[in-house]
Chain A
Amino acid sequence: MHLGHLFRQKGYEQVVFVLRRHPLIIFKDIVIFAIMAALPAGVVLLLQNVNPTLMTGAVSFPLLAIGGSIYYLAIWLFFFTAALDYYLDLWIVTNDRILSIEQHGLFARTISEVDLWQLQDVTSEVKGVFPTIFNFGSVHIQTAAARTRFEFEQVAAPHDIRQKIIELADNDRAYHPGGIEKSP
């Protein structure tokens, strides 16, 4: 994975995790897209039974064809945007810091980072039937700064990630002796 253009890696810095949402999240979007793509077939069958001439009418056929084309192009665009949202959301954990790169729709993108030694509280959460079965959930990261609360959303194995981040933060604090004490 080439990440050089996403963030400037320091000389001593090593990437430990590159996290995305669980693949089940994009699978859900694929299922929704498949259902929406199949819907017009049902509508066409219904129309053929109710009014067979509708599919051959001088005006109705062009209207239906144009409407169908617009419908399929629109759901294809929405599906691609959802897939892109999944693809572009990225959380990078190095031995020095955490980077959160999140795409929100077409026109909003947030990139934030926090040094590991600043972490005060890391919480992992698996909530719901599917998250429990497939072991995915959220990791909340609270820092000493007033504002900062990072969240890794719908990532796989959140408890393992929490444990690893705590270990990395403990290791990083050794290089920042004047830093914040870890909360009890």
Chain B
Amino acid sequence: MPLWLLLVPYALFLAVFVIFSLIDLWHAWRFRSGFFSAVVLILIYLAGSAGILYLSFLLLAPLEWTRTVSFGVPRTDFLP
């Protein structure tokens, strides 16, 4: 199977993550008790999320996603 299939559950997770993040951000802005505090909170969250996504991109981007791999085949290359 192609390696890129691993990205399907990841993409689903990212979609859920974005939806929940938007709900949280909306709450933070809609019910804020101060303009500055809300902006700081939102910026910290966005910066953290962007940092994690950027690191993930750095790790995942160089991989050859179109190649075919097999799961469940026992490895024998380390046997004597």
Are A73 and B49 within 8 A (Cβ)?
yes
Are B21 and A63 within 8 A (Cβ)?
no
CA separation between A73 and B27, bound complex, in Å?
A: 19
On whether A62 and B63 interact (CB within 8 A), knowing A70-B10, A77-B21, the answer reads yes
On whether A81 and B24 interact (CB within 8 A), knowing A53-B78, A65-B56, A69-B56, the answer reads yes
Whole-angstrom distance from the CB of B19 to the nearest CB of chain A? Answer: 10
Are A59 and B37 within 8 A (Cβ)?
no
- A residues less than 8 Å from B37 (CB atoms): 87
- A residues less than 8 Å from B27 (CB atoms): 84, 88, 103, 106
CA separation between A103 and B41, bound complex, in Å?
A: 16
Secondary structure dominating the interface of A: helix
Whole-angstrom distance from the CB of B68 to the nearest CB of chain A? Answer: 10
- A residues less than 8 Å from B63 (CB atoms): 61-62
- Residue from the list A6, A66, A88 in contact with B6, Cβ < 8 A: A66
- B residues less than 8 Å from A81 (CB atoms): 20, 24
Are B28 and A2 within 8 A (Cβ)?
no
Whole-angstrom distance from the CB of B21 to the nearest CB of chain A? Answer: 6
> Which B-chain residue is minimally distant from A53 (CB atoms)?
B78
Are B24 and A84 within 8 A (Cβ)?
yes
CA separation between A65 and B6, bound complex, in Å?
A: 11
Please tell me the size bucket of the interface on A: 20 to 34
> Scoring A residues 98 to 110 as 1 if CB is less than 8 Å from chain B, else 0, what string do you get?
0001010011010
- A residues less than 8 Å from B7 (CB atoms): 66
On whether A77 and B60 interact (CB within 8 A), knowing A6-B33, A58-B69, A90-B33, the answer reads no
Residues of B45-73 contacting chain A, CB below 8 A: 45, 48-49, 52-53, 55-56, 59-60, 63, 67, 69, 71
- Taking A59-B71, A63-B6, A73-B52 as known contacts, 19 extra A-B pairs with beta carbons closer than 8 A to each other, sorted by chain A number, are A3-B33, A53-B78, A58-B67, A61-B63, A66-B7, A69-B10, A69-B53, A69-B55, A69-B56, A69-B59, A70-B13, A77-B21, A77-B24, A81-B24, A87-B33, A88-B27, A88-B31, A101-B31, A103-B31
> 16 interchain pairs (CB within 8 A)?
A58-B69, A59-B3, A65-B59, A66-B10, A68-B59, A73-B53, A76-B45, A76-B52, A77-B24, A80-B21, A80-B24, A87-B41, A88-B28, A101-B31, A106-B24, A107-B23
Smallest CB-CB A-B distances: 4 pairs: A69-B56, A65-B59, A72-B52, A80-B45
